[in-house]
Amino acid sequence: MNSYLLPIIAVILGIVLAIIGKTKPAINTKLLLSFSGAFLLALTLFELLPEVYHHLESKQTGLFIMLGILLQIVLEFFSKGAEHGHVHIHKNDSAFPWLLFISLCIHSFLEGFPIHHHSDMVYGVLIHKIPIAALITTYLIQSHFSKTQLVIFLTIFTIMTPLGTFISNHVTLIEGYIYFINAIVIGIFFHISTTILFESNEDHKFNLTKLISILAGVAIAYAL
């Protein structure tokens, strides 16, 4: 049940953080983003990657991981990097951001698949979703979208990851392709987490607090 509930709770926590932060995200959101990038990358390396290489031919595995990286690059072309914390606010925009919405939903849907076979991955998704949900909610609040649009956006975004988990768990057709899908998700996670880590230091300056949060993310992932 946690595999379905925790991603939903993560988005709710992110929404609460955004509301508390009001006009700008809380300072700790950036630290949480750094922690989440390290935690997600470490869990992917420790949990997902060995299993996929065990069940698939090595070059084939690399191909699907590369496809995942390329897919995430395409998604970010439309979302402008919202999956790793880049949400650009244009207060004069009143048109609903369909491209952002669709790309985020595809990303969230796919990240739900590995949770079925790897219960620890739900914690990686949990930690990843909190700061992202906070930043997206802040963007929506500061834009000129109606409350109805805001609620619909966040509601559908919230259920996409549990939907991916449900399908991977209950749709028989998926079973034969689960390792291929997981390899694609590994590529997505690699791209997102490394982007977060490379961009975690503003102006590439050394920041001890962020370094500690990154090391903590790796250590906790290894301990799970």
**Is pLDDT larger for residue 1 or for residue 63?**
63
**Is pLDDT larger for residue 140 or for residue 24?**
140
**Is pLDDT larger for residue 84 or for residue 139?**
139
Asked if residue 12 is part of any domain, the answer here is yes
**Is pLDDT larger for residue 61 or for residue 140?**
61
Amino acid identity of 204?
H
pLDDT in tens, 112-137: 998 877 778 888 888 888 888 888 88
Above 70 in pLDDT, residue 87? no
Q: What distance in Å separates the CA atoms of residue 84 and residue 135, rounded to the nearest whole number?
A: 10
Percent of the chain with pLDDT over 70: 86
Asked if residue 28 is part of any domain, the answer here is no
Percent of the chain with pLDDT over 90: 39
Q: How many CB atoms lie within 10 A of CB 144?
A: 11
Instruction: Tell me the pLDDT band of 205, cut-offs 50, 70 and 90.
Output: low
Q: How many domains does the chain have?
A: 1
Q: Whole-angstrom distance between the N-terminal and C-terminal Cα of the chain?
A: 19
Above 70 in pLDDT, residue 28? no
- CA distances to 82, 97, 177, 213 from 102, rounded to whole Å, are 12, 9, 23, 31
Q: What distance in Å separates the CA atoms of residue 221 and residue 33, rounded to the nearest whole number?
A: 15
pLDDT in tens, 90-114: 555 667 788 888 999 999 999 999 8
Asked if residue 47 is part of any domain, the answer here is yes
Under a CB-based contact definition with an 8 Å cutoff, are residues 87 and 138 in contact?
Answer: yes
Mean pLDDT of 160-166: 93
Does the reported pTM lie above 0.85?
yes
Above 70 in pLDDT, residue 22? no
At 203, is the secondary structure helix, strand, or coil? helix
Asked if residue 183 is part of any domain, the answer here is yes
> What range does the domain containing 61 cover?
2-22+33-83+98-223
Asked if residue 89 is part of any domain, the answer here is no
Q: What distance in Å separates the CA atoms of residue 95 and residue 98, rounded to the nearest whole number?
A: 8
List of residues 6+ apart from 141 with CB closer than 8 A: 18, 19, 150
Amino acid identity of 123?
Y
Reported as half-sphere exposure (CB side, CA atoms, 13 A), residue 84 has a value of 26
Q: How many CB atoms lie within 10 A of CB 125?
A: 25
Q: If we measure between CA atoms, which residue out of 35, 51, 198 comes closest to residue 126?
A: 35
For residue 185, the model assigns a pLDDT of 95
Mean pLDDT of 48-57: 91
Q: If we measure between CA atoms, which residue out of 161, 162, 156 comes closest to residue 98?
A: 156
Q: What distance in Å separates the CA atoms of residue 224 and residue 214, rounded to the nearest whole number?
A: 16
Q: What distance in Å separates the CA atoms of residue 127 and residue 145, rounded to the nearest whole number?
A: 27
